Amino acid sequence: MWQIKDVVVFGILCLFSYIDIKKRRVPVLLLGVCGAAVFLYQTFRGYRFVWETAGGAGVGAVFLLISMITGEKMGYGDSWGILILGGYLGIRRLAEVLSISFFLLALTAVVILSIRKMAGGTGIPFFPFLACGYLIMLVCQEA
């Protein structure tokens, strides 16, 4: 059974997805509020698996580095979202979400490229794939 926190996180990912699709940017203030909320959540719920949580945030830090090195081919907002989600989920569950998200992104890119609706350098908003990956992870966790 899903918990309220799962629905809240999915709702936030859907909000970020909508903003990402419409504006191609995610507001830093919203990311900051979510990051602070995750920090407070992890602090007050107790140190369950510190290394698991730190590992998840570390994966996000790697994505921030990739964003910087590639000149934002993967946007900073997406990378900050991965960092925050990693701090919330931990490295194992984040790996599940990212695997699903990148698989769905690759399928979408192949379909769009094959029908010639997109050039090779066109960007695709990533938050919708994070939201789908999170939802699929939750559904598979139930099974």
Sequence-ordered alpha helix ranges (H) in 1-143: 4-23, 28-44, 50-69, 76-89, 91-114, 127-142
Sign, Cα dihedral of 24, 27, 30, 31? positive
Note the Cα 13 to chain centre separation in Å.
Answer: 8
The domain tally of the chain equals: 1
Max CA distance (Å), the chain: 50
Convert the pLDDT of each residue in 52-70 to its tens digit: 888 999 999 999 999 999 9
Look at residue 48 in the predicted model and tell me its pLDDT.
64
Q: What is the mean pLDDT of residues 116-136?
A: 85
Nearest to 13 by CA among 105, 91, 130: 130
**CA-to-CA separations, 131 to 50, 56, 97, 134, in angstroms, rounded:** 24, 17, 9, 5
Check whether 46 has a pLDDT greater than 80: no
What percent of the chain clears pLDDT 90, i.e. is strictly above it?
68
Give the pLDDT confidence of 89-104 residue by residue, as tens digits.
Answer: 999 999 999 999 999 9
Identity of the residue numbered 116: R
* pLDDT tens profile 112-123: 888 876 666 677
By residue range, what is the domain housing residue 57? 4-142
15: confidence class by pLDDT, cuts 50, 70, 90: very high
Reported for 4-13, long-range contacts at CB under 8 A and 24+ positions apart, including other chains, are 5/41, 6/138, 9/85, 9/88, 9/134, 10/131, 10/134, 10/135, 10/138, 13/81, 13/85, 13/127, 13/130, 13/131, 13/134
